[in-house]
Structure 1
Amino acid sequence: MTSRVSFVPPAMNTSLRLARFDDGCSLDAGGEARARAAAGSLRPAVRVLVSPSARCRETAAALGLDAVGEERLAGLDMGRWRGLTLDEVGAAEPQEVGRWLADPDAAPHGGESVTDLCARVGRWLDTARETEGHTIAVVEPEIVRAVVVRVLGAPTAAFWRLDVPPLSVTSVSGRDGRWNLRLGQPLDPAAA
């Protein structure tokens, strides 16, 4: 049995543009337009999942996808930093931000550590192998980072070294516990 999962990060919104930890902000007009233009460019899937954030749900809808929420694919829990920009947190808690960026086990914000996120996503990937066929998952960029770290067996510290552009596709495919990785393909509106 072969399984394939295509991970699509959300279209642009103000929070992503400002490096703001998710605050429930909707897509901006440009992000929504770009997602609508790419509707129909993904291969058909046996299931479509979505992170619970507003920007992921709105991206899935703009892409014309009838998605089911998947809590296990929720973005990184930022605790008390939720809704703040990285600059704001860096000005208020510079040592804590430095520790968080340097130590994947750290969660000075009271939320989830990068290590915990990667483990959670890894557990989800283990169950995803059991679904034959193609799955689309519209997820936060940090979920894509966690998938790449897990599939490559990279150290968790590599998490922050991965850039994930909006509306790109990172796919994994495999069977028998082994995944292959295809990175960052842009959604192609011309394919729609």
Structure 2
Amino acid sequence: MTSRVTFISPATNPSLRQTRFDDSRTPLDDAGRAQARAASGTLRPADRVVSSPSVRCQETAAALGLADAEPVAELAGLGVGRWEGRTLDEVGAAEPDAVAQWLADPSSAPHDGESVEALCLRIGRWLDSVREVDGRTVAVVEPDVVRAVVAQVLGAPVAAFWRADVAPLTATEISGRSGRWNLRMGNPLGSHTVGS
């Protein structure tokens, strides 16, 4: 039995363009919607389609032709508490020590939300549950979820979370059996059919 999961990062929206801590309710912008529609049809058929519960992930899934994507709470992006809706520049100017702590210590949550460490553990639990699912899963998820997947699959320290760049509308694919995952990342949608 082999489980295959293709993680798709969402198309652009104003929050991504402004480096804003998204509040999960911000929709795609016109450019992002058009880019996602242009990539429609480039994913191989899946046995299961899921998404982060955020508006931009659900809208990306719909624009990609994955209208049946089931929002999964465990795949939500990092909860940033009171920083939601603010830009990184705004928070950095108001709370420079808190931002420095947050970036340096994966167990910290100075925003009164979720730590990076907690996000990685949550995504690790989800990966454990999908490991036993035979077939192909497509998951349209926030970039921070993809970062957590990469750290978990590689067995990297949680601090490696910040070392993975995740571009909009790219695919990160994992496949595995017997408790071992293999990783292929950064495939842009639209250039070829995605999904091993």
TM-score normalised by length of structure 2: 0.96
Distance of 2:132 and 2:155 partners within structure 1: 20
Q: Are the structure 2 counterparts of residues 133 and 20 from structure 1 closer, same or farther at C-alpha, using a change threshold of 3 Å?
A: same
- Give the conservation status (yes or no) of the 8 Å contact 1:121–1:147: yes
- Give the conservation status (yes or no) of the 8 Å contact 1:170–1:184: yes
- Give the conservation status (yes or no) of the 8 Å contact 2:44–2:193: no
Q: What letter matches 1:57 in structure 2?
A: Q
Runs of 4+ displaced beyond 6 Å: none
Is residue 21 of structure 1 aligned with residue 24 of structure 2?
no
Corresponding residue number in structure 2 for 1:45: 46
Q: C-alpha deviations, 1:58-105, integer Å up to 9, x for none?
A: 000000102011000000000000000000000000000000000000
Distance of 1:188 and 1:120 partners within structure 2: 30
1:190: Cα distance to partner? 5.9
Give the secondary structure class of the aligned counterpart of 2:35: helix
1:25: Cα distance to partner? 1.1
Match of 1:149 among 118, 140, 151: 151
Match of 1:184 among 179, 183, 186: 186
Point out where structure 1 has 5 or more consecutive residues left out of the alignment.
none
Q: How does 1:9-158 map to 2 (within 5 A)?
A: 9-23=9-23, 24-65=25-66, 66-158=68-160
TM-score normalised by length of structure 1: 0.98
1:188: Cα distance to partner? 1.7
Distance of 1:39 and 1:191 partners within structure 2: 10
Give the secondary structure class of the aligned counterpart of 2:50: strand
Point out where structure 2 has 5 or more consecutive residues left out of the alignment.
none
- Give the conservation status (yes or no) of the 8 Å contact 1:21–1:86: yes
Tell me how large the CA RMSD over aligned residues is.
1.1
Matched length:
192
1:130: Cα distance to partner? 1.2
Distance of 1:175 and 1:26 partners within structure 2: 36
Distance of 2:120 and 2:193 partners within structure 1: 32
Distance of 1:180 and 1:173 partners within structure 2: 5
